[in-house]
Amino acid sequence: MAVSTTKVVVISIFLILGMVLAGVLMQPEASFQAWDIKESDFPVNDSAKEKLSFLLNYAILAPSSHNSQPWKFNVTNDSILVFADKTRQLTVADADQRELYISLGCALENLIVAADHFGYNSSVVYFPGEKDLAAKVVLQPAVNSSGDPRLFSAILSRQTNRNPYEPREISEADLETIKGLSSDADVSVFITRDSGIKKSFQDLVMQANAIQYSDVNFKSELGHWLGQGVMGPTGVRAKMAQLAVVFLDVGPQQSKKDADLINSTLYLGFISTANNDSISSVKAGMVLERFWLAATALGISLHPMSQALETTQTKAEIAELLPAKPGMMQVQQAFRLGYGKEEVVHSTRRPLQEVLITQ
């Protein structure tokens, strides 16, 4: 028996609506509540462990690739263990786990800035040996707080601004302040206005987009995270964004958007390290986050652009774009920097309880 076209269309619409509804109902708990944390909520009269746990409210506001939040924490009376949650790795876009460890570095940096602010001296041991343990942070109450209040306040206002940026110069003084607050001997930050580098970077982003958006696995992974409602749209709109990425050819549209964004931006930034290993990525993440907080404190926006570092074909060429800096040839992260034209809203976070390891 032949099935009419109308029936096929009606059944398809019901199937799609069913998928969207099921997806929305199954969206994990994530909310904007994490951003409501108040300094005055610090549990002054509670145990040492409760106080350290409180600091993690700031760690989880860190940026992470696809907002994957690939972290877990174990708190004791005088230390916090920061673990990689490998179940949240972007296995296609971030096969070498570079972005996973950069994201952990960002969370680690927020933790240290918050610890400084609430009067703790912190010392970090990187990769002490236990499986997936990226860092052990030992925290001791300090006599004097050495924290920079500008960085601490910026934790709550920092966000990824993916809008076009104004063609407005950043003063040399502000650039120096940002660089000064985020300098680290093991990590190089290169900020450029060079039009040749910008054009070549744009070409590499276009090339990477073409490769990624013709890969069903990449589209499915990106769709999965979009559908969770963690990267911009939430609820039904998140599911619609997922369906669009997975089933439509959105690559050319994305490339046009990225080209416009790069063209709107006066400054590009590149973070590099000497080695291509996990500890270097964690340290690059710490510098990225410190740089981002310092920029935020001055009203300057930042937008990481990772595409060209995510495909082997384009990754090698990024290092070629930058002036040779002996010993610092591993590009870890690229970003746009400037004054955002429009305000953006925060993205959601998982509740702290979900990322605490409790025995």
Ligand X SMILES: Cc1cc2nc3c(=O)[nH]c(=O)nc-3n(C[C@H](O)[C@H](O)[C@H](O)COP(=O)(O)O)c2cc1C
Interface residues with ligand X (CB under 6 A)? 63-67, 99, 102-103, 106, 159-160, 162, 231, 304-307, 333, 347
Q: CB of residue 301 vs ligand X: minimum separation in angstroms?
A: 10
Measured CA to CA, the distance from residue 317 to residue 191 in angstroms comes to: 18
Q: How far is the CB of 240 from ligand X (least distance, A)?
A: 18
C-alpha 328: how far from chain center: 22
Paired strand residues for 123: 138
Smallest separation (angstroms) from ligand X to the CB of 20: 22
Q: Is 64 helix (H, G, I), strand (E, B) or coil?
A: coil
CB of 356 to ligand X, least distance (A): 20
Please give the torsion angle defined by the CA atoms of residues 244, 249, 254 and 260, in that order, rounded to the nearest 10 degrees.
-130
Q: Which is nearer to ligand X, 61 or 170 (CB)?
A: 61
Q: Choose between 51 and 333: whose C-beta lies nearer to ligand X.
A: 333
Cβ atoms 69, 349 nearer than 8 A: yes
Residue with nearest beta carbon to ligand X: 63
If the CB atoms of residues 51 and 182 are measured against ligand X, the closer one turns out to be 182
Q: Measured between alpha carbons, how far is 183 from 75 in angstroms, rounded to an integer?
A: 28
Closest CB 161 distance from ligand X, rounded Å: 8
Q: How far is the CB of 106 from ligand X (least distance, A)?
A: 5
C-beta of 35 vs 42, nearer to ligand X: 35
Provide CB contacts within 8 A for 335, sequence distance 6+: 268, 269, 270, 271, 288, 302, 303, 304, 305
- Nearer to ligand X (CB atom), residue 63 or residue 147: 63
Sign of CA dihedral 266, 151, 280, 105: negative
Can you tell me the distance from the alpha carbon of 283 to that of 112, in angstroms, rounded to the nearest whole number?
A: 13
CB of 231 to ligand X, least distance (A): 5
- Contact at 8 Å (CB) between 333 and 103? no
**219 sits in which H/E element:** helix 216-227
Q: Which is nearer to ligand X, 103 or 188 (CB)?
A: 103
Closer to ligand X by Cβ: residue 122 or 333: 333
